[in-house]
Copies of this chain bind each other. A is one copy, B any other.
Amino acid sequence: MNRPGNDAPPVQVAVIQSSCGESKSANVAATLERLADAAARGAQVVCLQELFHGPYPCQTEDHARFAEAEPIPGPTSQALAQAAGQHGIVIVGSLFERRAAGLYHNTAVVFDADGSTAGLYRKMHIPDDPRYYEKFYFTPGDLGFRSFDTRFGRIGVCVCWDQWFPEAARLTALTGAQILCYPTAIGWLPEEKDEWGASQHLAWETMMRSHAIANGVFVAAANRVGLEGDIQFWGASFVVDPYGNLLGRTGQQAEETLVVECDLSLIDTARIHWPFLRDRRIDAYDGLRKRYLDTP
């Protein structure tokens, strides 16, 4: 198979899968260590899990937890920026953002390898399900779907619940993303795991593999691991290529950093062999902006 496109060297992409204790400073310090370790292993683009700085805050609706948020820039984002510059790596960091009084977001920041901020993405699709009460905390994003040029490629970010929406992946890919990163916090509930746990995990991975295939991009998903209250976060972070092939997947039990090589020239190769972007019927997609297409 010929591989036209750029001759750039492959990019080493990492996902860091962690468990969190109650201490924010300890969680951040542990993540900074893992970033150093990933960089030492050759990682160039590193995706952290959703809200890596603490326990997943949305299992209850608790006004006190808003105190965990920070402005951006703020102490935690600055620590990530410093790490990015120090190690010369791109970092995708997921933060609980305090934008203004009473205005909070679930926000991902892409830090370029010199420590500068390449861009912000504010989670667009906000879930609200038992023990995932995110609509209480997070204002839906108003920046749209985006991607950002970095030293090691153009990085798009969607966050957790966005995973289930093909629209989010498509729009992000159409902005030129080469690697689509998904900081994530998803796990099993005790009353569901035995019967539906395997199916839930497979559906989650299937959706993101489909985004890679449909859009001809690399997808990297970093999930949380460990038991927090009722939720057993299922780990299984992974990276897939533009054909949906699994390049690597972490386990479901332990903290782990996965580093895999991504040949970005495969994006062009995949898309000229599976030319979906060529054939989209943009003249017929108006209905996608509707809630439902009831037939009267």
Partner-B contacts on A (CB < 8 A): 1, 124-127, 129, 140, 144-145, 161, 164-168, 170-171, 174-176, 195-196, 199-200, 202-203, 206-207, 209-211, 213-214, 243-245, 273-277, 279-282, 284-295
Contact = CB atoms under 8 A, between A and B. Distances in A.
B203 A284 contact: no
Contacts of A287: 144-145, 171, 174
A295 B118 CA distance: 14
Contact of A213 (B164, B285, B289): B164
A211 B210 CA distance: 9
A169 to B, nearest CB: 8
B214 A293 contact: no
A203 B199 contact: no
Nearest to A167: B285
Nearest to A273: B129
Given A145-B287, A174-B292, A206-B209, 4 more contacts: A203-B209, A203-B213, A203-B244, A288-B288
Nearest to A175: B293
Given A199-B243, A203-B243, A209-B206, A124 B284 contact: yes
